[in-house]
Amino acid sequence: MNPLREKIGYGFGDMSSSMFWKIFSYYLPFFYSNVFGLSLTDAGMLMLITRIWDAVSDPMMGVIADRTQTRWGKYRPFLLWIAAPFAIAGILLFTTPDMGPTGKLVWAYVTYILMMTVYTAINVPYGAMLGVMTDDSNTKTVFSSYRMFFAYGGSFIALYSWEPLCNWFKSMDFSLAQCWQYAMVVIASGCLIGFLICFSLTREHVKSMTSQSVGKDVGSLVRNSPWWILNGASLLFNFFNTVRGATAAYFFKDYISANAVLDFGFFNVVFYAGLFLGIGEVCNMLGVALAVPVSLRLGKKTTYTCALISLLVLSVLFFFIPNNATGWWLILVLQILISICTGIISPLIWSMYADVADYAELKDGTASTGLIFSSGSMAQKFGGAFAGWAVMALLALFGYNTAEEAVQTPEALNGLKYLMSFIPAAIAALSMLVVFIYPLNHDRMKAINEELKKKRG
């Protein structure tokens, strides 16, 4: 039985990762186009190319981590080694240099590739730790739930505080670019501390069997049909989240009134993108809390499918909400419900990757846990890469104007609504088809875990 401190410690790792990841996913496109000064086309291509490199580098890191041997274990030491470079790379990413257009574009490519490489170096081993902290499938879901609960907590802190931080630095007469850079210094400091806490509180308990042959591990992976299916589901899930999240800053700036408020009777609250996204993260945490009891009753696959059906329906409804005081409340309600559903799915994906690793170990005699978890990270990053590029490309197609005081055309405003409604709904529908064919249900995993316990002695 793993102690509570390990579950909490494991959660701090993804709290740190998610604070950066959500800022990158939701605010970096806006930063590049509206603060840094890139065109929508350049920003979209930048995000596509760098994220593809990031995704491709994940399996490389998985192979390295699987073959690392230290007194701290295989995967855990990377939390200590990479924490500081992770924080520094994030600050450089949100730094706007005093250069011409070409120099700034080069700077953007270099710092983004650096950030994504460092992110991979710490996040892939962190994810793989789930496979060696316990050998019980249900306990993995518990660990994964702690992970995602803390992840969404960190995301809430980062997203809710981002605009207030920028505004606070702006009140001290810093330039807009400096405000974004200094806000990242604050967030990066928190990430550094979180990774160090994760390292100090966690331990690796399971000695998994890793082949000395990279070719054997890769061959096992290629023949692993549940791995292929789960990668598709993971890619689409991140596609869904990134499309909605990356659009939110534009949606609130140009579609929702700048004077939008939520009237609570005795006081009003300004309705802005950070509040919308931040409340979503809190509700993700509620979804994570529901994931374990619901999946224990229904099974992981059925729970995943039911959540996707809900996302499809709720996303379609989003399109028909009016842009007025009543509509703002309805937007918030739908965001709460959508976020609960995505919160339920998040821990299931990582717990299912741990199941895939167990399936591989029983089938081929090699767990290659780091490689399998890196592929999960790779799939999510591919989803984020194409989603980030797609948002920028579609905004350009809809005629969105990046000028600070621009008045958007009706076509551009409708495009923003599509990106928050029908397009995510289509992604959820496709995800349902992928999850339907996933073969590792509750009964099959119970049999696999029993066989592995016999083999491991």
pLDDT tens digits for range 140-159: 888 988 988 898 889 889 98
Structure token digits, residue 318: 């989003």
CB within 8 A of 3, min separation 6: which ones?
A: none
Per-residue pLDDT at 126 exceeds 60: yes
Q: How many CA atoms lie within 13 A of 364 on its CB side?
A: 22
Q: Provide the pLDDT for residue 214.
A: 67
Q: Provide the pLDDT for residue 187.
A: 97
Query: What secondary structure does DSSP assign to 217-268, as a single string?
Result: HHHHHHT-HHHHHHHHHHHHHHHHHHHHHHHHHHHHHHTS-TT-EEE-SS-E
Give how far Cα 92 sits from Cα of 12, 87, 89, 456, Å.
23, 9, 5, 46
CB within 8 A of 360, min separation 6: which ones?
A: 220, 221, 224, 227, 366, 367, 368, 372
Amino acid identity of 235?
Answer: L
**What confidence tens digit (pLDDT) does each residue in 232-248 have?**
998 899 899 989 998 99
Structure token digits, residue 199: 């390292």
Q: Provide the pLDDT for residue 278.
A: 87
DSSP H/E element including 270: strand 268-270
Domain ranges of the chain: 7-451
With a pLDDT cut of 90, the percent of the chain lying above it is: 51
Q: Provide the pLDDT for residue 456.
A: 66
Contact between residue 251 and residue 273 where contact means Cβ atoms under 8 Å apart: yes
Q: Provide the pLDDT for residue 367.
A: 60
Query: What secondary structure does DSSP assign to 198-216, as a single string?
Result: HHHH----------S-HHH
Q: Provide the pLDDT for residue 243.
A: 93
Amino acid identity of 85?
Answer: P
With a pLDDT cut of 70, the percent of the chain lying above it is: 95
Give how far Cα 156 sits from Cα of 160, 229, 278, 281, Å.
6, 30, 5, 5
Indicate the average pLDDT of the chain. 88
- In which band, very low, low, confident or very high, does the pLDDT at 366 lie, cut at 50, 70 and 90? low
Per-residue pLDDT at 323 exceeds 60: yes
Per-residue pLDDT at 358 exceeds 90: no
Q: Provide the pLDDT for residue 407.
A: 83
Distance between CA atoms of residues 8 and 197, nearest Å: 9
Q: Provide the pLDDT for residue 193.
A: 97
Q: Which range in 14-23, 161-170, 312-321 is most confidently predicted, on average pLDDT?
A: 312-321
Q: Provide the pLDDT for residue 266.
A: 81
**What confidence tens digit (pLDDT) does each residue in 381-431 have?**
777 778 888 898 999 999 998 877 778 899 999 999 999 999 999 999 999
Report the 3 state secondary structure along 7-24: HHHHHHHHHHHHHHHHHH
| Residue 272 burial class via C-beta count within 10 angstroms: exposed 0-12, middle 13-18, buried 19 and up | buried
Q: Provide the pLDDT for residue 311.
A: 98
Q: Provide the pLDDT for residue 240.
A: 94
Q: Provide the pLDDT for residue 92.
A: 97
Per-residue pLDDT at 457 exceeds 70: no
Instruction: Tell me the average pLDDT across 115-139.
Output: 88
Q: Provide the pLDDT for residue 328.
A: 94
Q: Provide the pLDDT for residue 334.
A: 97
Helix axes 4-31, 101-128, angle to 10 degrees: 160
CATH number at 7-451: 1.20.1250.20
| pTM for this predicted structure | 0.73
Distance between CA atoms of residues 395 and 293, nearest Å: 40
Give how far Cα 338 sits from Cα of 288, 403, 428, Å.
13, 31, 11
Per-residue pLDDT at 273 exceeds 80: yes
Give me the sign of the Cα torsion angle 305, 307, 313, 318. Answer: negative
Structure token digits, residue 59: 């399996």
Instruction: Tell me the average pLDDT across 119-130.
Output: 90
Per-residue pLDDT at 221 exceeds 80: no
Task: Compute, in degrees rounded to 10, the torsion defined by CA atoms 81, 186, 153, 236.
Answer: -70
Q: Minimal CA–CA distance to 342: which of 22, 23, 13, 20?
A: 22
3-class secondary structure, 438: coil
Contact between residue 305 and residue 435 where contact means Cβ atoms under 8 Å apart: yes
Helix axes 4-31, 176-201, angle to 10 degrees: 160
**What confidence tens digit (pLDDT) does each residue in 21-35 have?**
889 878 888 899 889
Per-residue pLDDT at 344 exceeds 90: yes
Q: Compute φ and ψ for 269, nearest 5 degrees.
A: -125, 130
Per-residue pLDDT at 17 exceeds 90: yes
Query: How many C-beta atoms lie closer than 10 Å to residue 70's C-beta?
Result: 12
Query: What secondary structure does DSSP assign to 367-421, as a single string?
Result: --HHHHHHHHHHHHHHHHHHHHHHHHHHHHHTT---STTPPPPHHHHHHHHHHHT
Contact between residue 206 and residue 363 where contact means Cβ atoms under 8 Å apart: no
More reliable by pLDDT, 442 or 425: 425
Q: Provide the pLDDT for residue 260.
A: 87
CB within 8 A of 75, min separation 6: which ones?
A: 65, 68, 125, 126, 128, 129, 132, 204, 370
Distance of CA 451 to the CA centre of its chain: 33
